[in-house]
Every structure is written in structure tokens, then in C-alpha cells.
Chains A and B, each alone.
Chain A
Amino acid sequence: MTEVISEKLPTTRQTPFDPPPELARIRDQAAISRLKFADGHLGWLVTGHHQVREVLGSPKFTNDPAEHHLLEVRFQGEVPKERRRIKPGMFLNQDPPDHTRLRRMLQGQFTVRRMNQLSEWIGTIVDDQLEHLRSFGGRADLVQEFALPVPSLVICALLGVDYDERHRFQEDTAKLLSLNSTFEEAMAAMERIEAFMRELIARKKADPGDDMISDLLATGEPTDEEASNMAMLLLLAGHETTANMLGLGTFTLLRHPDQLKILRDEPDVVDNAVEELMRYLSIIHFGPVRTATEDVEIDGHLIKAGDTVVMHVPAANRDPEKFPGNPEELDLRRPATGHVAFGHGIHQCLGQQLARIEMRIAFAKLFQAFPDLRLDTAPEDVPLRTDMGIYGVHALPVAWSS
């Protein structure tokens, strides 16, 4: 087998909704290929759907950031390992048994049944936000007035964070995710968010409320440091991703009028439409990343202990072997389940059932409330989040007349 080697991960998009075209070419040649890292490490790039699932499902990989070789795209040069060590409670980066112990403290709060019970409440949040949008007359920025507030309001209320305090984490989250931030800037932003979370934990201990953080503290299971980092993970993971799916998803639908018509004419399509939008857009530029903790064979390739592997979710979500026919096209009626936009394996998104409900309700109600919603700028002028760790649109100027 001849090896395909990329000197650098392709990150330049040619169109707003598609991953860089090189990825499809790499995937067609080799679903598992080699990739050079900033420090010269020769690691791996996984672009096939089945292969991404195999790595993410294997217990022989870790997501400990201190173990990962770094890609040049984020931080230049070598960042000292001790600055990248795991924060206890950031279970996204932890391995079993710690990961299992911590995730289980929260799993009961995110079950399908619990999330379905929130539908009505989320519906009123969405309705209120649509009314707010309408108050702008006939044009507004959908991101600032709808896509970002809805998931932020939801996660703040669930966690028991005062929404009026969002400035204490929203701008810093943006700094943390900005590819233009230096390592020092990102760390400073992280430290400010951490201070806010520690303060929040102390407040909830003194004065518990009817919210997830108070419930978590009431179990007495996590240490204060763990509780604080768990809350931070939920807060950060809980609003940016969903917000960007709503913003970019709306942009996508407005640019695919035939598909939008299907969603309008057949309301029952919405559940599948959300899966298809997740498949088609993926929302993360690339990743997740893992490092092998022992030698492991994946699809005929020997991945050595210490090798870092970059999974490419957007490429995997357009793998014709998994999504036959026209995987590059948006098709709201296609069977899209099985996409890996929420990851795979033990770290698969804890908030996925919440995100699904939020997106279903938000897309359905948005296009019901604004039947003639349209783009209020040239499509090429929509500012894309190519400079952020999570993709999407920075703003989406929209207009309506009724």
C-alpha cells in the first residue's frame, strides 16, 4: 500500500458549506493517511467514516492534550506540556475510569426523556426570541438576535447561571476559540472563565437552586475543582456549537430554496432535516484528535503508541461509502443518521439530545414565524468563521416583510 502523506492539514474552504476540497481527494486515495505536525511528528489523518468510528471507538487512544502533537493551525511553536495538562473535571480530556465516573454524574440529566420534557419550555424561549427578532422591524442579524441567544439562554437556565452575566464568559469563549489568539491570550481567557466558574460553584454551595450545578453539588460526588471544570465544559460546549449550527444552518437553507420548501411544506421532515444539516455542515472544521496509548492496528494500518491521529468529521460525513449517491449535496430526506458530527465512542456528545431538540424547535419555528425570511446581503459577504475553532457565520443579516 503506498502511503498518502500531507505536509499540512488543508484548511482553506472554497465554498461556505463544504470542507476544503482536498479532503475528498485524500479520502478517495486513502481513508487513513499520514499527516505532518508542527513539531515534525508524522501522525495520521482519518477521513473515512468507518475508520473515524473505529479510532473513536477504540480504548487504545487518549484525548489528553498533553499527549497530542500539535497542528500548526492553532498555536505556533511548542507549548510546554505542563501547560496542557488535564484539568480534573474536564472529562472530555480524561480517560476511564475518571471519564466514566464524571460523565455518569451528569448522564441522568441529559437522557432522551429528560430532554423531551424540556420541549415546551424551549419552545417558549424560541418564541420569545422570535418576537425579539421581529421587534427589529424588517431586518436584523440572525446570529446576535436569535442563533446565539437561544442556546445561551437554555444552557444558562439549565446550569443556573444568570443570563445577565453572560459577558463574563461569552467574549472569553470567543477568545478561546479564535485561531488568531496567541496561546497566552487563550490561557488568560481560560483563567477568567475558570475564576467565574469557581465563584459560581461557591455561590451554588451557599445558596443551592433548582439547576444542574446545584444537583451535581448535592450528590457530594465531585470535588470542587471537578465540579467547577465540569460546569465550565457544559457551559462552553453547550452554547457555541448549537448557536453556530443555527446560524450556518439557516444560511444553508436560505441558499437551498428547494430544500427549505420541503421543510416548510412537510413539517415532519424537521427531525431528519436536523440530522442532515449536522451531516452536511459538521460545524467543527476538523477533529476530534486522539493519541494512541499503545500500538494499535486500524483498518490495516499500524498506529504506534504516541502517534497523534486527526479525525476529519466533515470528510467522514461525506464519505460515499456511508452516504451513497450524492453525499456532497444537501438532501433533507436522505437517511442521515449515523453521521459523526457528535463524535463517536465514549466521548460522544453528552448534550446531543438537548442540541437536537433545540435545533428542531428553532428551525421549525423560525421558518413558520418568518415565511419570507431572506438573506439581506450578498451571500459572498456573509462573514464566515474560518478564523474560529468552531465553524459557522459571525453574522447573518436577514430581512422579512411579514
Chain B
Amino acid sequence: MKISVDQAKCCGSGMCVLTDPDLFDQNDEDGTVVLLEEHPDAAHEASAKEAAGLCPAGAITIS
């Protein structure tokens, strides 16, 4: 599994960080997403998908 994030789309909602702080963080400057793990291990795959589904801005894609 590979996670990609698009800072240009991100609106800093924090939903991804709330869902899995091991995978996502937010930039202190403008609150946009920072990807911590591009390739989540099996234990984090479900939350990666959940975060992608919750993101209000469609800024997270899973492939």
C-alpha cells in the first residue's frame, strides 16, 4: 500500500491526524498535511484507508 498526499488540496482539517497520528501530521505554519509513512505496515492499512475516506478535501490517495 502507498499513501500520497496533496498539500495544495489540503484544507488543514486535521481529520487524518485525528485518525492515525502515526501516519499523518500537520505543518505548524499552515496546518497542511505532512505524510509520516508512505508505506504503512499492515497494522496501519485500515486507518490509512479510513483517513483517505474522511479527508474533506480529497487530498489523500491510496494506491
Contacts and interface: CB of A to CB of B under 8 A. Distances in A.
Interface of A: 56-57, 100, 103-115, 337-338, 343-350, 352-353, 356
27 contacts: A103-B11, A104-B12, A106-B31, A107-B26, A107-B30, A108-B26, A108-B27, A108-B29, A108-B31, A110-B12, A110-B31, A111-B27, A112-B14, A112-B18, A112-B26, A113-B17, A113-B28, A114-B28, A337-B19, A338-B53, A345-B57, A346-B11, A347-B11, A348-B13, A348-B15, A348-B56, A352-B14
Nearest to A337: B54
Contacts of B15: 348
Q: Chain B's interface: helix, strand, loop or mixed, by majority?
A: loop
Interface residues of B, number: 23
Contact of A338 (B14, B26, B54): B54
A279 to B, nearest CB: 13
A65 B18 CA distance: 32
Interface string B38-58: 000000000000100110111
Contact of A57 (B18, B30, B56): B56
Given A57-B56, A111-B31, A337-B54, A352 B13 contact: yes
Contacts of A113: 17, 25-26, 28
B11 A111 contact: no
Given A112-B17, A112-B26, A107 B53 contact: no
A325 to B, nearest CB: 19
Given A107-B30, A110-B12, A112-B26, A345 B17 contact: no
A348 B28 CA distance: 19
Q: Chain A's interface: helix, strand, loop or mixed, by majority?
A: helix
B19 to A, nearest CB: 8
Interface of B: 11-15, 17-19, 21, 25-32, 50, 53-54, 56-58
Contacts of B56: 56-57, 343-346, 348
Contacts of A103: 11-12
A107 B18 contact: no
B10 to A, nearest CB: 9
Contact of B14 (A56, A337, A353): A353
B36 to A, nearest CB: 13
A304 B18 CA distance: 36
A356 B15 CA distance: 12
Nearest to A346: B11
3 closest cross-chain pairs (CB), A and B: A107-B31, A107-B12, A348-B56
Nearest to B58: A57
Contacts of B19: 337
B14 A111 contact: yes
A1 B63 CA distance: 36
A109 B28 CA distance: 7
A111 B54 contact: no
Indicate the member of B18, B21, B53, B57 with the most A CB atoms within 10 Å: B18
